[in-house]
Chains A and B, each alone.
Chain A
Amino acid sequence: MEVIGRRAVVGSVLAALGTLVALGLGPEVAPAQQAPAQQDTLQAVIKRGELIVGTFNFFPPWGYLDAQNNLVGMDVDIAKDLAEQMKVKLSLVPVPTAPDRINFLVAGKIDVAISNFTATVERSKTITFTDPYVIDGFGVIFRKEAKIKDWPDMNGKKVAVTTGSTGEILVSQKAPKAQVLRFDQASAALLAVQQGKADAQIEDYTYTVYHAGRDPKKSLGFIEKPFDLNPYAFGVRKNDQEWLTFLNFYIYKLHQSGKMKELYKKWFNAEPARVSPSW
């Protein structure tokens, strides 16, 4: 009975998998509506009395853990301010990786993603971005001994990136012959560079400036001129018009009231780049 039993089980399991493959190759399975239903996160948050924000906890100075292991940072301060303005409680959810900002939004685990989220056309296919609240660019942090002066120098070298980040996409464009190491989190990629496992890391410009500066061994440099200028925006789900409008208004007030200037000075000791009101 044992032999027959095992084969029957194997057979049925493989049959089930075959069905899965057939489903996959067949016509797309789609419910009646083609797009997600109309959302109303704004009402949901107000009714709940709680705002759930997704941030990173490994990406200084936007979201990271301080010496006392409290979650702090620029994005955290903005989230706190937003919750205060809405007069609700704030719940911060640490998002493990870059693509998870989108995964968590789509799965409904967070109301909004405020996590140095670069707005791109590709990402806009799955979620919606608010107006930008900060402008950043791309940068490279590298080991001084690797002698990297500009982007093409990375060809043939080991470059660490984060899966699902804009840096990952950029390395294939700017340095297609580079050997790429993909990590879940920017901090792990940075550690790889610091330990010499990679020669460079592509990340957002402000990140590269600060981490090159903080290395106690002073062995890291960064490329002075940021490549491209990227808007950071809040991420929300598709078809969530009221929430989107509300957040856009919040961002406008953030700049107009001078709060953004105050926060930027606190975390970067500099003036924020001018943000145009719309793309």
Chain B
Amino acid sequence: MSKAPFSEIVMGNTALVRAMVEAGTRVVASYPGSPTPEIAEAIRSIPIAQRPFYFEFSTNEKVATEVAYGAALNGHLSTVFFKSVGLNVASDTFVQLSLMNITGGMVIVLGDDPGANSSQNEQDNRHYAHLSYTPMLEPASPGEVYDFYKKSVGLSREKNMPVILRLTTHVCHAKQRVAFDGWEPVELDPTPRFDAARGPYIPITAEVLPMKRRALERLTAVSDFAKRSDLNRIVDNGNRKKGVITMGLPFLSLMDVLKSAAEKPDILKLGVVHPIPKESIKHFLQIHQEVKILEELDDPIEKEIKAIAFDEDIKVKIIGKMDLEDWIGEYTPDKVYEIIHKTWPGLLPEKSAKVRKPPVPERPAQMCPGCGHRSAFHAIKKALTGTDITVADIGCHTLGFLPPYQTGELLMCMGASTGIGAGLSLFNGARKVVAFLGDSTFFHAGLPGIINAVFNRHKLTLIIMENGTTAMTGHQDHAASGKNFNEPTDKIPIRQVLTGLGIQNIYETDTYQQTELTRLVKQALSDDGFSVVIARHPCMLKFTREQRKKPAFKPRRVDIDQQKCNQIHICVEKFACPTFVRKSDGKVEINPDLCIGDGSCLQTCPSAAIKQPEIVGDKVQ
């Protein structure tokens, strides 16, 4: 790791890690979730012996927040990062942080997801900043991610308060050349400096109100910091009629869109989105006739700015959200074009008429070739009747909801399936309820629902889709993997946990044993009470990647015996491995680019037309 200044092409997530190093961050924790897992990949690229801070993937976002908080009370600058909805999990701990005197400093990095690219909603986490009296900074680009993290640290340490750095998907993943400063390593002070006298750290009635007062006082003082640190800035286009107040990636969209504008409005770009800089905004409102608030997702800033105009009696036309569409989706340049066009017709040139576009079949995300979940859904479907209710959970196995499996008819959030399934089973003697759960999610938030099912004697079946990893977010280890981020660790076997909870009916098989899995699920469904089926098979994407790295690796694939094939298409239509290709004449072939030769498809063909996997030749030169 360079101690001298340098520049490199990096994504926002990587720029963040360099900022952590330079800032002297000591403890970092997380739970994987898009758009943030690449932060951990950048951390992993620093060999552990040279890594100047401790990092862990915790069991969930709440625990990660607690670990970072605890470390900060010993005087270690800490950071926790996770995706947008991760903050919901962490919130019970998170909302208390501003009450505390966080002596080492603590930054909460959020990966919000406008457009719901890889999340179950596009929640606007700026509301949490308001709810918890926590300042929030919002960078627009990788360069700003790097700069704003260091400024967040400065603020957090100056005031011993938590600070949120809010990233969004395409800020996390944007790539550009960033100029980094030098790094002066600071020797670790291992003294555990926790001191209860620097608290109080116990929020009970008598203490809560003064603690809240202190939180509010600190928040008020943030505006001085924002002024000093140049986080909010003006793009002065000399326009005293029109102005725009915006922030984050929408600012960059706006800059691009305005290149073709007849006149360019002035722009106030906010770097601190909570608390907003009242004086700067007041001045900006006073010197313009019309001000557009260009704010992605919800409208907290619009409301605050309108309140400022009202309180200060400023005569200005403030144009916020104009219709419901303005609340929905990412503010891409296309979206910002539409919004500006709607706000000030005539400012932007009309777009030319579009040519006719032929349809392209959708390409939804799929389970990979050889995925154990595919075998599982194919087998489980045979054990279910059409009226059974199947409850999905978060993970690769969520994809079972797609045709042709259509298993998993409702989805909420991490670990919710067992609880929802329990509710669906009440007053319900007619329709069996089957809930699904991944193994990483089992530890993350799945356990309380399972314990509840035991405790309250709910009648449903839970199928644990165990693939040995946190697959969807890039194969992070979990508590049953036998490895943590840094070293080997004791495995917590899921089956033993279930046995320890006193669950009587536990079944387990490899999902490639499709007939056996069908039988076990039927058995579990006929059990009285709560039953669990562990449907396990290692993640084949992970397995195949590992195999390919071995020198002796020989690619294998199956083939179709065209003599035997009766074109009944179970392989392509029901089992639906993406490897199978349907030709226009009905003939079935193998896509050699996709088949991994796992052979899990052989058992699905009643004509036995799928041939045993064979080695296809030496590894390519």
Q: A and B bound?
A: no
